[in-house]
Structure 1
Amino acid sequence: MKHLLSLSGLLASFAALPAFAQESLRIDGLEIIGKPVDGEMGFQPGVTRLATDIHDLDYLILVIITLITVFVTGLILWVAVRYNKKRNPTPASFTHNTPIEIAWTILPIVILVLIGAYSLPILFRQQEIPVADITIKAVGNQWYWSYEYVDEEFGFDSYMIGAPATLSAEDEQAGAVANVLNPAMEAKLAAAGYGRDEWLLATDTSVVVPIGKTIVMQVTGSDVIHAWAMPAFGVKQDAVPGRLAELWFSADKEGVYFGQCSELCGQAHAYMPITVKVVSEAAYAEWLGKAKAEYAGIAQPVTVASN
Structure 2
Amino acid sequence: MIKKAYAGLTALVCLLSATSGHADQPTPWGMTMQPAATPIMRENTWFEHYTLWFIVPITLMVLLLLIVVCVRFRASANPVPSKTSHNTVIEVIWTVGPVLVLLFLAVPSFNLLTAQLTLPENPDVTIKATATQWQWNYEYEGSGETPVAFDSYLLKDPDRASAGKTDLATYPRLLAVDNELVLPVNQTVRVLVTSAPTDVIHSFAMPSFGIKIDAVPGRLNETWFRAEREGLFYGQCSELCGKDHAFMPIAIRVVSEDKYRQWLTAAAKDLPGAYKTLMAQTGPTAPSVDLAENTAR
Under a length normalisation based on structure 2, what TM-score does the superposition of the two structures give?
0.76
The alpha-carbon distance between structure 1 residues 143 and 36, as it changes in their structure 2 partners (threshold 3 A), is: farther
Counterpart residue type for residue 285 of structure 1: R
The unaligned stretches of length 5 or more in structure 1 are: 1-28, 163-180, 296-307
CA separation in 1, counterparts of 2:21 and 2:251? 13
The answer as to 2:129 corresponding to 1:156 is no
Structure 1 segment 6-21 matched on structure 2, within 5 A: none
**Aligned partner (choices 52, 59, 67) of residue 49 of structure 2:** 59
Alignment of 1:115-130 (within 5 A): 115-130=105-120
- Summarize deviations over 1:259-295 as a string: whole Å, max 9, x none: 1111122222222111101111121122122112226
1:134 equivalent in structure 2: 125
User: 1:12 is matched with which residue?
Assistant: none
User: Which structure has the larger Rg over C-alpha atoms?
Assistant: 1
Q: CA RMSD in A?
A: 2.2
CA contact (8 A) 1:34 1:258 kept: no
Over 3 Å counting, the alpha-carbon distance change for 1:32 and 1:133 in structure 2 is farther
Q: Distance in 2 between matches of 1:146 and 1:206?
A: 11
- CA 1:292/1:187 → structure 2, altered by over 3 Å: closer, same or farther? closer
Question: 2:119, 2:224 within 8 Å by CA — same for their partners in 1?
Answer: yes
Query: 2:59 is matched by which residue type in structure 1?
Result: T
8 Å CA contact 1:142, 1:265 repeated in 2: yes
Equivalent residue in structure 2 for 1:288, among 239, 247, 264: 264
2:215 is aligned with 1:215: no
Tell me what 1:106 maps to.
96
Shift of 1:96: 2.1
In the superposition, relative to structure 1, how do residues 31 and 282 fare at CA in structure 2: closer, same or farther (>3 Å)?
farther
Secondary structure (helix, strand or coil) at the match of 2:270 reads helix
Distance (Å, rounded) in 2 between the aligned partners of 1:241 and 1:32: 37
8 Å CA contact retained: 1:35, 1:258? no
The whole-number CA distance in structure 1 between the counterparts of 2:80 and 2:204 is 62
Matched with 2:229 is 253
Percent of aligned pairs with the same amino acid: 40
Offset of residue 36 of structure 1: 4.2
Q: Give the TM-score, by structure 1 length.
A: 0.74
Amino acid at match of 1:142: Q
> How big is the shift at 1:100?
1.2
How far did residue 93 of structure 1 move?
A: 2.5
1:192 aligns with 2:200: no
Query: Structure 1 residues 268 and 88 mapped into 2: Cα distance closer, same or farther (>3 Å)?
Result: closer
Q: What amino acid sits opposite 1:233 in the alignment?
A: F
- What CA deviation, in whole Å up to 9, does each residue of 1:104-158 have, x standing for no partner? 1100000011100110010011111112110000000111111010021321111
Match of 2:208 in 1: 232
Encode CA deviations 1:29-53: one digit per residue, 9 max, x unaligned. 9955555444322211111111111
Amino acid across the alignment from 1:155: A
Letter paired with 1:243? R
Q: Partner of 1:82 in structure 2?
A: 72
Q: In structure 1, what residue type is equivalent to 2:263? A: W
